[in-house]
Structure 1
Amino acid sequence: MSLDRIGVVVIGRNEGERLKRCLRSIPSKYQVVYVDSGSIDDSVEFAHSTGAIVVELDDRLGFTAARARNAGWRRLLDQDPDTSFVQFIDGDCEVAAGWFCKALSAIRSDDHLAIVFGRRRERFPERSIYNKLCDDEWDVPVGIVSECGGDALIRATALRDADGYSDDLIAGEEPDLCLRLSRFGWHVRRIDAEMTLHDANILQFSNWWKRAKRAGFAYAAHVSHHGAQSLPNWRRALMSIVFWGLALPSSILVVAAASAPLASDVAGILMAALTVLYLIQAARITWRKRCSGQPWGFSVTYGGLLLIGKFAQVSGVLRHWSERLFRRRQSLIEYK
């Protein structure tokens, strides 16, 4: 097989200059399909100007990254049925030089590999603590792993086996795909290579909060859909969110309410004791991050924000449970 058997799917929505950097970073020898989810900027026009095949999603069905990626790879294979590998790239990412050769070499080396991905880095981690948190989040271990992110090289045969992503998931579609692929005997591998530069541009607490809320929604949706067969780390994450974001603060309120008529001092002591648990947990998270090699300043901020983020995440969990209970249509949780 030759490098020409790689096709590229880029998805985006109002990415502006980020999309231009993205499309320009893809070598011209690869066929590119750009899937647009209702952009009102010049994304569609620019993609056309690069020679990419452009697919504009119908907004009547709702926009999800999963639906966009599915539309992209299916259009790509319609155009060239002999495509062996599909590189998915989010429109706010720029591909690193040499990535395609390294990824292709890795996936060819093992016929059981469905997905290969590398190091996604944040373009401007110094601009905000939230950007730096994103960069840290993407530094996952090298080797066989249980899940990947949005940027990844995937075998076309594996995509067909799983029938692609789950269109209805508004978040967490990549771990869902990886889990379903594992049932066919496929593996996912993170290689030691630079893959993409991502421009999160999260400069405000409110945007970070929405991103954390979306993550909580994703954890709940994954576990609801797969139950006991869901990814173990996602089940653990959901339990942690529910405990720290819902169960423990609820118990604080219940204890305080029950103790107040008896003795305000008792209520105060109980509330203080329970609150100390949060401080201890933040300290534990901080210490683990420090032991991983991060400086104290980042480790302390990381510990605090990770714990605060449980409240944002639990709001996403509750939203999923509510929509599932009342059978409401799921809508995007956008943080940009």
Structure 2
Amino acid sequence: MTATIAAVAIGRNEGDRLIRCLTTLKDQLDRIVYVDSGSSDGSVQAARDLGVEVVELDTSVPFTAARARNAGFEALKPGGLPDFVQFVDGDCGVEPGWIAAGLSEFEGQEELGIVTGWRSEIHPDVSIYNVLADFEWHRPAGEIAACGGDMMVRCDVFDAVGGFNPTVVAAEDDEFCTRIRKSGRRIIRLPQPMTRHDAAMTRFSQWWQRAVRSGHGFAQVGDLHPDYFVKERRRVILYGGALPTIALLSLVFTAPLYLIGVLAVYALSYLRTVRGLQREGLGRSMALRQAVYLSISKFPNLIGMARYHLRKIRGSAMRIIEYK
């Protein structure tokens, strides 16, 4: 019996990126649901013009990617759930042949819950921020702990774990994958192009906000799953919080040796990061540049972590942190 599959695309004000996304999907499968999170750029009508089913989220409830993906999955049920669903973000185009490759990997592997592939940037040379994103996407193939939002999932597995957690506003894909693994299912990344992404990051402020969002994800997902993002949280607390505090106190109490020690720790961390990037295939010049941003990222990460905990203490809604 031939496996059935549908796609759920999500987006908000993606413009031409959304049209590209939906067109690449229509080239590979028939059933597509687009979930819109309050767009004001004509995205809803553009999707309908392409013959795609559209779900418009209630604007009175905070938007999250998790909530949007869940709504898309629910919209598939009236027509009968397929065997698999391909989730994709509206700023990504799906590579030709990906759907067939993903389905093929599932054959004979009932314990396999998620299949993903490689995402890459469409315009990696537009800015250093796009270069950073492109390098971030290209992770090793094989069995993995988690993947991004572009993924092919067994529908019965999705239902069994309750879908995405709609309250998680960043790293919701990591949180979902963690529950998939804890249910006894495996996650595989194929060594094959899956999607082409358009980060459209050209300003430092966009990169900073994206790093704040990552920190929020470290904290929230780490709160839900204490065994996840452990190293990431420790690095942020050390390099974004503890060391700057020691440096400040050394200035207040005129203790220059402590300040020198802090600077030495940062220097050693930077050099280790450069060497690590070179081992992963980056040239020396690019490794030196990217290591600067990876070092700086601990500060916006800390802001994001603090923002999560403040929201939790106050009982505030967890609202998305946008960088575009």
TM-score range, shorter chain: over 0.9
User: Does residue 187 of structure 2 align to residue 188 of structure 1?
Assistant: yes
Shift of 1:84: 0.3
Structure 1 equivalent of residue 245 of structure 2: 250
Q: 1:110-135 CA deviation, whole Å, 9 max, x = no partner?
A: 11111000000011001011101111
Q: Contact (CA 8 Å) 2:132, 2:290: kept in 1 or not?
A: yes
Partner Cα separation in structure 1 for residue 161 and residue 100 of structure 2? 25
Q: Contact (CA 8 Å) 1:85, 1:156: kept in 2 or not?
A: yes
Give the aligned CA root-mean-square deviation in angstroms.
Answer: 1.1
User: Does residue 306 of structure 2 align to residue 318 of structure 1?
Assistant: yes
Q: Contact (CA 8 Å) 2:246, 2:259: kept in 1 or not?
A: no
Structure 2 equivalent of residue 133 of structure 1: 132
Shift of 1:192: 1.0
Structure 2 equivalent of residue 114 of structure 1: 113
Unaligned runs of 5+ in 1: 261-266
Q: 1:245-283 CA deviation, whole Å, 9 max, x = no partner?
A: 0011111112322x23xxxxxx33431331121111111
User: What fraction of aligned residue pairs are identical, expressed as a percent?
Assistant: 37
Given the alignment, which residue of 234, 241, 265 partners 1:239? 234
Shift of 1:226: 2.0
* Range with bigger deviation, 12-21 or 71-80: 71-80
Aligned pairs for 1:199-238 (under 5 A) are 199-227=198-226, 230-231=227-228, 234-238=229-233
Q: Contact (CA 8 Å) 1:161, 1:181: kept in 2 or not?
A: no
Structure 1 equivalent of residue 294 of structure 2: 306
Partner Cα separation in structure 2 for residue 318 and residue 64 of structure 1? 19
Partner Cα separation in structure 2 for residue 281 and residue 183 of structure 1? 33
Q: 1:59-103 CA deviation, whole Å, 9 max, x = no partner?
A: 11110000000000111122223x000000100000100001110
Q: Contact (CA 8 Å) 1:241, 1:310: kept in 2 or not?
A: yes
Amino acid at match of 1:323: R
Partner Cα separation in structure 2 for residue 78 and residue 171 of structure 1? 29
Q: Contact (CA 8 Å) 2:118, 2:193: kept in 1 or not?
A: yes
Q: Contact (CA 8 Å) 2:219, 2:309: kept in 1 or not?
A: yes
Shift of 1:40: 0.1
Unaligned runs of 5+ in 2: none
Q: Secondary structure at the match of 1:239?
A: helix
Amino acid at match of 1:31: R
Shift of 1:326: 1.6
Q: Contact (CA 8 Å) 2:10, 2:34: kept in 1 or not?
A: yes
Partner Cα separation in structure 1 for residue 101 and residue 194 of structure 2? 9
Q: Secondary structure at the match of 1:125?
A: coil
Structure 1 equivalent of residue 78 of structure 2: 78
Q: Contact (CA 8 Å) 1:96, 1:197: kept in 2 or not?
A: yes
Amino acid at match of 2:261: A
Q: TM-score, normalised to structure 2's length?
A: 0.97
User: Does residue 51 of structure 2 align to residue 56 of structure 1?
Assistant: no
Partner Cα separation in structure 2 for residue 205 and residue 176 of structure 1? 28
Partner Cα separation in structure 1 for residue 70 and residue 92 of structure 2? 19
Structure 2 equivalent of residue 162 of structure 1: 161
Partner Cα separation in structure 2 for residue 329 and residue 277 of structure 1? 37
Q: Secondary structure at the match of 2:297?
A: helix
Q: TM-score, normalised to structure 1's length?
A: 0.94
Amino acid at match of 1:53: E
Partner Cα separation in structure 2 for residue 115 and residue 78 of structure 1? 23
Amino acid at match of 1:249: P
Shift of 1:30: 2.1
Q: Contact (CA 8 Å) 2:14, 2:90: kept in 1 or not?
A: yes
Structure 2 equivalent of residue 263 of structure 1: none
Shift of 1:330: 1.4
Q: Contact (CA 8 Å) 1:115, 1:154: kept in 2 or not?
A: yes
Q: Secondary structure at the match of 2:250?
A: helix
Q: 1:140-194 CA deviation, whole Å, 9 max, x = no partner?
A: 1111110010100000011011110000111111111111112221111101111
Q: Where has structure 1 moved over 3 Å in runs of 4 or more?
A: none
Q: Contact (CA 8 Å) 1:115, 1:189: kept in 2 or not?
A: yes
User: Does residue 21 of structure 2 align to residue 26 of structure 1?
Assistant: no
Q: Secondary structure at the match of 1:86?
A: strand
Structure 2 equivalent of residue 292 of structure 1: 280
Structure 1 equivalent of residue 259 of structure 2: 271
